[in-house]
Structure 1
């Protein structure tokens, strides 16, 4: 839209004397009014673009752009002092006040309103605020609508940690088919690390078909015990370690080798602790193999692989892999395992007879990629960031 000039009241110096006679004092010319222009004007401004304030003459000393709630858009004055540009975009459905001051202590102000977004994008975040999670839990953000402007969105995402953990964002397709971006450390987290995630997305344009974001998001969480699980399909045993020390070895029965009922292998993560749930084989493409209530269930993939109690299969624990893909164990072992496990604990399946690794988006499969492979999925430089 066309810019508009903002005029402050003229600030003038007084001349000495009265009447027509000269007093010998030099007359001071009045200062010209301060005039600035703003790239966004009016009551129906399109959101999703930075605010730019330009001074007609002189140099800017300070610019402040605030919304109706008092929140300020950060920005910077150019090296020549002529222009100020906001670091963030104007948000949809907001009212802004612009206040500018030059190096001569003159000021000018105006205001504008942005229109509501035609389409709004939203996000879902995997780690609730205040959570304590295991050492393999990534930050995972799933978008309601497509994100074509991945680089612009990623620029507004920030992870800060208490120990400067090295990590990187990576873009993948979620199991749901939606766009998703995860932040994974280079190696598993260190116990005790505090993590803060800022998603400064308000006013950012997702790109074609995605719409604008209309709010910011954030979360904070802590890394708990370094507890790791490994299932060996050959020995039919599940081993648990904590801080590198062996805790327990549990006889299990995993997926039946050689077909759809085989287990996924590789590095997975305990995604959720769901407790007692109904499991129906028809919902995961296994016809009418089973339909029952299952206790102490912990999800490993979105496609339905769990670790859980399986008392009906007791004769095969430690002897044969005969399940429909899950890792089953006795009620007593499952109860203890469930109680001590954390969401975010690494869960690795090794040995023969699996159906390979699940897709990255079918759970938290990024740990099956090398560090360089993961960094390459960033929409920015492909290099790591320290949080």
Structure 2
């Protein structure tokens, strides 16, 4: 008796499987479930306003998809260009019309996929491809610096081929300029002027980062007549975190690698009237030999402050002529007094070590000087002298006024030399 119920259970399951199989066979190929049917070619039931034949679509006109003679309704539309960018659009409530709500890219190749349902609910689809007309007015971007290895203070730059002034237009550009890094950082672009942007993280780049810069600007409508152009991508890396901090009160430079002190160097900075700039500077380059002349900074020949000297192992930190360099004539003052015309002077042995250790993008800072603070943009890379809050205000994607600074104020640009 105990096995009878078990037998009946198995038998019932078998009948259930057979019943389901029969039901499935009955549904296959039946019009009673149109969603199980193979989608039909909907080309004859829809039309779109894109290019006809071998023509190209006008990117200034919206794309429109409609059903013909009320034949069903549109259920989905995707329009994607060759870069993978999707075109935003809107479907009417009755499903008879879809139209783009964002401008098409110029000089682009689009793939359009449309899904519909006919009057009985049967699905259909159709794929179209078309091209848009090119624009002769292109906004190109050139990224800097050149590809290679840099210090952790190196900003990214973008130089535009035409000015962009309106904030809404700047926002379009800024969204398309991408900076990716490993490890990831929080960073932002800053509009230095209408043709120049700088990008930096909130903090310095992490040591040994990989940074990729690219643009999605190509074909994007910026203004009524200006479209984005191509941009060559950029890849750079960072090395160790190298920082040189000089205290003008003690005339000692402390050098750190990845936070650990690796050297202390007696130096001399700018004397009264030629005080070295305070703040963070970024190494711009290195020159084994520079002939420094006082006339280049407005000191008349023959005056008590005039000079014309060969200078060696010169590491540049401003475009106006501030260097860290060998100054064998002032060894007696190094670590004791400030006697230069604005540069950081040290012994030849120490300058050789500094020259061989520091590279473009490494950090050189001065505190306690009577000089002005390094300006952000007009004399090298003083980007790090803006607080993060002020830096963010230089972005077109952030609400509020741009940071109060004078990036093109040349009145504050005072050349210095040895």
TM-score (normalizing by structure 1): 0.74
More helix by share: 2
Kindly report which structure 2 residues correspond to 1:153-192, keeping only aligned pairs within 5 A, or say none.
Answer: 153-173=173-193, 179-192=195-208
Structure 2 partner of 1:363: 380
Task: Give the equivalent residue in structure 2 for 1:27.
Answer: none
Instruction: Tell me the equivalent position of 1:229.
Output: 244
Cα deviation 1:183-213 (Å, max 9, x = unaligned): 22122222122222222222356669x9654
Bigger Cα displacement from structure 2, 36-45 vs 164-173: 36-45
Residue 269 of structure 1 and its aligned partner are, at CA, apart by: 1.5
Cα drift, residue 241 of structure 1: 0.9
Contact map agreement 1:169 1:184 (CA 8 A) in 2: yes
Q: Find the residue that maps to 2:349 and give its secondary structure.
A: helix
The runs of 4+ residues in structure 1 deviating greater than 6 Å are 39-47
- 1:305 CA displacement: 1.6
Q: CA deviation at 1:167?
A: 1.8
- 1:193 lines up with 2:174 in the alignment: no
Contact 2:324 2:344 in 1 (8 A): yes
Aligned mates of 1:273, 1:39 — CA distance in 2: 56
Relative to structure 1, the CA distance from residue 323 to residue 89 in structure 2 (aligned partners, 3 Å threshold; closer, same or farther) is farther
Pairing 1:11-160 to 2, within 5 Å after superposition: 32-38=44-50, 52-57=62-67, 58-59=73-74, 61=76, 63=78, 73-78=85-90, 82-83=97-98, 85=100, 90-91=105-106, 94=107, 96=109, 99-103=112-116, 104-117=124-137, 120-129=138-147, 131-148=148-165, 149-160=169-180
- Are residue 349 (structure 1) and residue 366 (structure 2) matched? yes
Cα deviation, residue 54, structure 1: 1.7
Q: Secondary structure at the match of 1:192?
A: coil
Residue 36 to residue 126, structure 1, CA distance change in 2 (3 Å): same
| Residues 110-140 of structure 1: per-residue CA shift (max 9 Å, x gap) | 44422422xx5444433323x2222222222
1:374 to 367, 381, 391: 391
Cα distance per residue 1:245-283 (max 9 Å; x no partner)? 11111122222222xx32111122212234434444444
SS class of match (2:272): coil
SS of 2:353 mapped into structure 1? helix
Secondary structure at the aligned position of 1:264 is classed as coil
Q: CA separation in 1, counterparts of 2:157 and 2:134?
A: 31
Change (3 A) 1:250 1:63: same
Secondary structure of the residue aligned to 2:233 is strand
What secondary structure sits across from 2:184 in the alignment?
Answer: coil
Q: How has the CA–CA distance of structure 1 residues 71 and 184 changed in structure 2, closer, same or farther, with 3 Å as cutoff?
A: closer
Instruction: Give the CA deviation at 1:292.
Output: 4.6
Aligned to 1:243: 258
Which of 1 and 2 has greater Rg? 2
Q: Distance in 2 between matches of 1:46 and 1:236?
A: 66
Question: d(CA) in 1 for partners of 2:300 and 2:315?
Answer: 22
Q: Alpha-carbon deviation of 1:63?
A: 4.8
Instruction: Give the conservation status (yes or no) of the 8 Å contact 2:240–2:257.
Output: yes
| Equivalent residues, number | 337
Residue ranges of structure 1 left out of the alignment (5+ in a row): 1-29
* Residue of structure 2 aligned with 1:216, choices 217, 225, 231: 231
2:331 is paired with a residue whose SS is helix
**Matches for 1:241-280 after TM superposition, within 5 Å:** 241-258=256-273, 261-280=274-293
Q: How far is the alpha carbon of 1:347 from its aligned partner?
A: 1.3
Change (3 A) 1:144 1:313: farther
Structure 2 residue matching 1:303: 3-state secondary structure: coil
Change (3 A) 1:292 1:164: same
